[in-house]
Amino acid sequence: MNDESNFKVPAAPALPATRLELEALRKSKKIPTINEAVDAICDSLWEVPDFQRFLLAIDDSQAVEGSTKIDDTKAAEMIRDYGVQHGIRNVAEAKLHAVVLAMRVKLRRHGQSREERRLQVIGDEESELNNSE
Protein backbone atom coordinates (compact mmCIF):
# COMPACT_ATOMS: atom_id res chain seq x y z
CA MET A 1 0.00 0.00 0.00
CA ASN A 2 1.24 3.46 -0.88
CA ASP A 3 1.76 5.77 2.15
CA GLU A 4 1.03 8.85 0.05
CA SER A 5 -2.56 7.77 -0.71
CA ASN A 6 -3.41 7.72 3.02
CA PHE A 7 -1.97 11.16 3.66
CA LYS A 8 -4.61 13.87 3.76
CA VAL A 9 -3.79 17.54 3.37
CA PRO A 10 -5.61 19.65 5.95
CA ALA A 11 -8.07 22.20 4.61
CA ALA A 12 -6.71 25.70 4.18
CA PRO A 13 -7.92 28.30 6.66
CA ALA A 14 -10.62 30.59 5.32
CA LEU A 15 -9.60 33.90 3.81
CA PRO A 16 -11.01 37.11 5.32
CA ALA A 17 -14.38 37.81 3.73
CA THR A 18 -13.99 41.60 3.42
CA ARG A 19 -11.24 44.15 2.82
CA LEU A 20 -11.81 45.49 6.35
CA GLU A 21 -11.23 42.03 7.83
CA LEU A 22 -8.12 41.66 5.69
CA GLU A 23 -6.80 45.07 6.80
CA ALA A 24 -7.41 44.18 10.46
CA LEU A 25 -5.02 41.25 10.04
CA ARG A 26 -2.17 43.41 8.66
CA LYS A 27 1.01 42.60 10.59
CA SER A 28 2.59 46.00 10.18
CA LYS A 29 0.16 48.88 10.26
CA LYS A 30 0.36 51.17 7.25
CA ILE A 31 1.03 54.74 8.31
CA PRO A 32 0.10 57.24 5.62
CA THR A 33 2.79 59.67 4.56
CA ILE A 34 2.36 63.24 5.73
CA ASN A 35 1.34 64.20 2.17
CA GLU A 36 -1.42 61.57 2.16
CA ALA A 37 -2.60 62.53 5.66
CA VAL A 38 -2.62 66.28 4.90
CA ASP A 39 -4.43 65.61 1.61
CA ALA A 40 -7.22 63.83 3.49
CA ILE A 41 -7.38 66.52 6.18
CA CYS A 42 -7.60 69.26 3.54
CA ASP A 43 -10.56 67.40 2.04
CA SER A 44 -12.22 67.44 5.47
CA LEU A 45 -11.51 71.13 6.04
CA TRP A 46 -12.23 72.28 2.49
CA GLU A 47 -15.71 73.62 3.19
CA VAL A 48 -14.69 75.43 6.39
CA PRO A 49 -14.87 79.15 5.49
CA ASP A 50 -11.81 80.17 7.53
CA PHE A 51 -9.71 77.48 5.88
CA GLN A 52 -10.64 78.68 2.41
CA ARG A 53 -10.08 82.32 3.40
CA PHE A 54 -6.45 81.48 4.16
CA LEU A 55 -6.04 79.76 0.79
CA LEU A 56 -7.88 82.22 -1.45
CA ALA A 57 -5.34 85.02 -1.98
CA ILE A 58 -3.04 84.90 -4.99
CA ASP A 59 -1.13 88.00 -3.88
CA ASP A 60 0.03 89.40 -0.54
CA SER A 61 -2.30 92.37 -0.91
CA GLN A 62 -5.28 89.97 -0.86
CA ALA A 63 -4.02 87.83 2.03
CA VAL A 64 -5.96 87.72 5.30
CA GLU A 65 -2.78 88.35 7.31
CA GLY A 66 -1.11 90.54 4.66
CA SER A 67 1.17 87.73 3.47
CA THR A 68 0.35 84.54 1.59
CA LYS A 69 3.15 82.79 3.50
CA ILE A 70 1.53 83.69 6.81
CA ASP A 71 -1.87 82.63 5.47
CA ASP A 72 -0.32 79.28 4.49
CA THR A 73 0.98 78.94 8.03
CA LYS A 74 -2.45 79.73 9.50
CA ALA A 75 -4.05 77.09 7.24
CA ALA A 76 -1.32 74.64 8.29
CA GLU A 77 -2.15 75.35 11.94
CA MET A 78 -5.76 74.40 11.22
CA ILE A 79 -4.55 71.19 9.56
CA ARG A 80 -2.27 70.34 12.47
CA ASP A 81 -5.02 71.11 15.01
CA TYR A 82 -7.29 68.73 13.09
CA GLY A 83 -4.55 66.11 13.28
CA VAL A 84 -4.34 66.60 17.07
CA GLN A 85 -8.14 66.40 17.51
CA HIS A 86 -8.44 63.26 15.40
CA GLY A 87 -5.31 61.44 16.58
CA ILE A 88 -3.39 61.65 13.30
CA ARG A 89 0.05 61.52 14.88
CA ASN A 90 2.29 62.22 11.93
CA VAL A 91 0.40 65.46 11.30
CA ALA A 92 -0.20 66.35 14.95
CA GLU A 93 3.51 66.08 15.71
CA ALA A 94 4.79 67.63 12.48
CA LYS A 95 6.52 70.96 12.22
CA LEU A 96 4.33 73.63 10.64
CA HIS A 97 6.76 74.00 7.74
CA ALA A 98 6.29 70.32 6.85
CA VAL A 99 2.51 70.75 6.98
CA VAL A 100 2.70 73.85 4.75
CA LEU A 101 4.76 71.93 2.19
CA ALA A 102 2.35 68.98 2.24
CA MET A 103 -0.61 71.35 1.89
CA ARG A 104 1.02 72.97 -1.14
CA VAL A 105 1.48 69.49 -2.69
CA LYS A 106 -2.24 68.87 -2.20
CA LEU A 107 -3.16 72.17 -3.84
CA ARG A 108 -0.82 71.58 -6.81
CA ARG A 109 -2.27 68.09 -7.34
CA HIS A 110 -5.64 69.73 -7.91
CA GLY A 111 -4.39 72.74 -9.88
CA GLN A 112 -5.30 75.08 -7.02
CA SER A 113 -1.92 76.44 -5.95
CA ARG A 114 -1.63 80.20 -5.61
CA GLU A 115 0.73 80.32 -8.60
CA GLU A 116 -1.54 78.26 -10.86
CA ARG A 117 -4.54 80.41 -9.98
CA ARG A 118 -2.48 83.60 -10.44
CA LEU A 119 -1.52 82.41 -13.94
CA GLN A 120 -5.20 81.80 -14.70
CA VAL A 121 -5.99 85.41 -13.81
CA ILE A 122 -3.08 86.70 -15.90
CA GLY A 123 -4.21 84.56 -18.82
CA ASP A 124 -7.79 85.84 -18.44
CA GLU A 125 -6.59 89.45 -18.35
CA GLU A 126 -4.45 88.95 -21.48
CA SER A 127 -7.41 87.37 -23.28
CA GLU A 128 -9.62 90.33 -22.39
CA LEU A 129 -6.96 92.78 -23.64
CA ASN A 130 -6.58 90.89 -26.93
CA ASN A 131 -10.37 90.72 -27.43
CA SER A 132 -10.82 94.46 -26.81
CA GLU A 133 -8.35 95.42 -29.54
d(CA 130, CA 6): 88
Q: DSSP character for 60?
A: G
Average pLDDT value for the chain:
90
Work out the pLDDT band at 9, boundaries 50, 70, 90.
Answer: confident
What percent of the chain has pLDDT above 90?
Answer: 71
Would you list the domain boundaries of the chain?
Answer: 32-132
- Please determine, for residue 127, whether its predicted confidence score (pLDDT) is greater than 60: no
Work out the pLDDT band at 131, boundaries 50, 70, 90.
Answer: low
Average pLDDT on 9-13 reads 89
- Looking at residue 85, its pLDDT comes to 98
pTM for this one?
0.74
- Please determine, for residue 133, whether its predicted confidence score (pLDDT) is greater than 90: no
Environment class of residue 128 by beta-carbon count within 10 Å: exposed (0-12), middle (13-18) or buried (19+)?
exposed
**If we measure between CA atoms, which residue out of 117, 116, 101 comes closest to residue 69?**
101
pLDDT tens for 76-101 read: 999 999 999 999 999 999 999 999 99
